[in-house]
Structure 1
């Protein structure tokens, strides 16, 4: 059986994430309600506007269900605004901004805004084989601080943002500042699908879905 991975379908590049996950061997489904969330083995939180996504999660009565599933070990991947929502701490957010949590990192919201609003860069990405990952940043956050629980996977190599951390992982939770769904390079999604498969294989009594 293929892993069943949901894409939070409230804002952002939902269709592009669904297509990428399907191409990487998952059954990809949009998630807009709690019953759909309950039926997935992993969850993608797309880009968009983090405070808007937070409001929509609350409006759709998904905020607490998503937090509970993340705490229970649901694998998750957040891109751009999704990274902000998965971070434990946010700098530059609104005064009342809260996050789902799951990554022991501090993220600066709209960090690239004044410096380099939107740009592209080739990244050496740990855990992804082959040539560098071509990353597209659109008013993206960056990671200001990484706690002991999280692992840095990629940082910008050159230009005004050189050295800024833009991809992290903690256990089954993966996040990138950039949008891999817009480039046609499936390797980040393939990595997440493998993370979900590994989590399923680790479940007690699981005999492999292949």
Structure 2
């Protein structure tokens, strides 16, 4: 008599938390869903439980820090990273993850999540009116496109930070050579000798950071990379009951925007040719 086939548990999607305090969290959620992951909007400590990855989106790093402190999220977020969860910071999220802020630091300082051995310039690219897309020649170690080609990634910088230096354990994934116009701005400052900046890094198997915004393009390669990192991480079991209780004191409704539209690279390319957005 033949034996029945072994029973396997149903394959579950990798849960990716997205810190949903402000900024572009909804766009990240949409891309995670497009890549086959399960996005979870995180506003309370218990919403991290079961997540293998966490995205800290672009927005305003000081505002995120203030809300995290008010809602008792710093301890759970740090415990998530210390427990081996994958964490990706984009733009403001990069600042939030950095160990050090060099140029552009807030007067009086600001609280950082930390853990990423880099020094950042908080607002290297200037005002929002001067937001740019990179030329396609930016050196970028993003995974190949689905068709196997090495199509360059067009990065969108919106009031973006830059990584000025990285520790020995940090892998540089992308650099941006500064145009002459930007180098002219830096003359007479302590950064006048800077010819190129670091705009994407990876540290160990669980930390990723980009100073640009992959979530507002139609290219999901960075999200696929992070999903792979998260799939290799253990799902988070939670922090102490006291921290969960404190974070639960504020009832915060969830938002489920579904699959948001994203801009195509051609839209941004046209804007860049006309002098930026």
Same fold (TM over 0.5): yes
Distance 2:50 2:101 in 1: 30
Greater shift in the superposed pair: 171-180 or 89-98: 89-98
Quote the residue 2:222 is aligned against: 188
Quote the residue 2:140 is aligned against: 125
Larger-Rg structure? 2
Residue from 136, 146, 153 that aligns with 2:173 = 153
Task: For residues 131-189 of structure 1, give each alpha carbon's deviation from its aligned partner in whole angstroms, at most 9, with x where no partner exists.
Answer: 11100000100000110111110011452375211001102110000000001110011
Q: How far did residue 58 of structure 1 move? A: 1.1
- 2:233 match: secondary structure: helix
Distance 1:127 1:48 in 2: 23
Task: Give the alignment's Cα RMSD to 1 decimal.
Answer: 1.7
Residue from 125, 137, 149 that aligns with 2:157 = 137
Residue from 126, 141, 157 that aligns with 1:113 = 126
Q: How far did residue 98 of structure 1 move? A: 2.0
Q: Is the 8 A contact 1:41 1:74 kept in 2?
A: yes
Q: How far did residue 87 of structure 1 move? A: 0.7
Quote the residue 2:250 is aligned against: none
Distance 2:87 2:123 in 1: 21
Quote the residue 1:208 is aligned against: none
Q: How far did residue 68 of structure 1 move? A: 1.6
Is 1:167 aligned to 2:200, yes or no? Answer: yes
Could you list the runs of 5+ residues in structure 2 that have no partner in the other structure? Answer: 1-11, 145-149, 184-194, 236-277
Q: Is the 8 A contact 1:124 1:133 kept in 2?
A: no
- 1:67 match: secondary structure: helix
Q: Report runs of 4+ in structure 1 exceeding 3 Å deviation.
A: none
Distance 2:36 2:234 in 1: 14
Aligned pairs for 1:1-210 within 5 A: 1-91=12-102, 92-94=104-106, 95-113=108-126, 117-121=130-134, 122=136, 123-129=138-144, 130-157=150-177, 159=179, 160=182, 163-171=196-204, 172-200=206-234
Q: Which has the higher contact order (CA 8 A, sep 6+)?
A: 2
Paired residue total:
200
Distance 2:139 2:223 in 1: 16
Higher strand share: 1
